[in-house]
Structures are given as structure tokens and as C-alpha cells.
């Protein structure tokens, strides 16, 4: 079946502009996660959604970052007034349940470059 998809695959934007990154999780997966990965670094947790519960936003680095998940499926990560330090690969993952007990399936990521 289809895996996690993300769009766009690459995004180049000017400093100060807003960007939206999209994630389509695997159908039926109730948990959805966003991570950020800088070059040669590990994955930095940003936010996760579990069903209809309030999202865990504890990893969002600033109030310029926000995310929503509509209808318990598609999610959008929005970065406002982008800065050069926002340049990274943004990865989305989904799993059947939250908490890491079930494996997370990752999308291919969106490579964001802020010039």
C-alpha cells in the first residue's frame, strides 16, 4: 500500500517568507509526527498528533512554527517569517498508535532551504 508522502520534496524560499509543508500519513494511522533533521544530525522532534487529542507541541522551536491536522489525516506544518536556521529536512512519520510502541513510518521529507 501507499506509504507516507510529503510535498514538496524541495522548497527554496527567501528569508522572511512563510512556507507550508504537507504530509499525507498512511491510511488508518492515528498518530502523526513531525521532525526536523539538520545536515549530519539526528532527528529533532517538533510535534505529534494522536487521533482527536490536542497535539503535543513541546518540540516546536518557536512561535513561528505551527501545525494542524485536518480530519485526522493530512497535516500541514507552517513556518512563518522563515530564517536561515530553519533550513533543514522536515520529516513526517505516522504510526498506528502513539508512543513509539508501534514502529513509525517516515515519509521522504521536504528539504527546506532559506536563502
Partner 1 sequence: GQSLEQPSEVTAVEGAIVQINCTYQTSGFYGLSWYQQHDGGAPTFLSYNALDGLEETGRFSSFLSRSDSYGYLLLQELQMKDSASYFCAVTGGSARQLTFGSGTQLTVLP
Footprint on this chain of partner 1 (rule: CB under 8 A): 33, 35, 41-45, 48, 56, 58-59, 91, 93, 98-101, 103-109
17 vs 113, which CB is nearer to partner 1?
113
Q: What sign does the CA torsion over 47, 84, 62, 64 have?
A: negative
35 vs 65, which CB is nearer to partner 1?
35
Nearest distance from residue 41's CB to partner 1, in Å?
A: 6
The Cα–Cα gap between 2 and 19 comes to: 25
Contact present, 80 and 18 (Cβ < 8 Å) = yes
Amino acid at each position: 500500500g501507499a506509504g507516507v508522502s510529503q510535498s514538496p520534496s524541495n522548497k527554496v524560499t527567501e528569508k522572511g517568507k512563510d512556507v507550508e509543508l504537507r504530509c499525507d500519513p498512511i491510511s488508518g494511522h492515528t498518530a502523526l509526527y513531525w521532525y526536523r533533521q539538520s545536515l549530519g544530525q539526528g532527528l529533532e522532534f517538533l510535534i505529534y498528533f494522536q487521533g482527536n487529542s490536542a497535539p503535543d507541541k513541546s518540540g516546536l522551536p518557536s512561535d513561528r512554527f505551527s501545525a494542524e491536522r485536518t480530519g485526522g489525516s493530512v497535516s500541514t506544518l507552517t513556518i512563518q517569517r522563515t530564517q536561515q536556521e530553519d533550513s533543514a529536512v522536515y520529516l513526517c512519520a505516522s504510526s498506528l498508535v502513539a508512543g513509539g510502541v508501534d514502529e513509525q513510518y517516515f515519509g521522504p521529507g521536504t528539504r527546506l532551504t532559506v536563502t
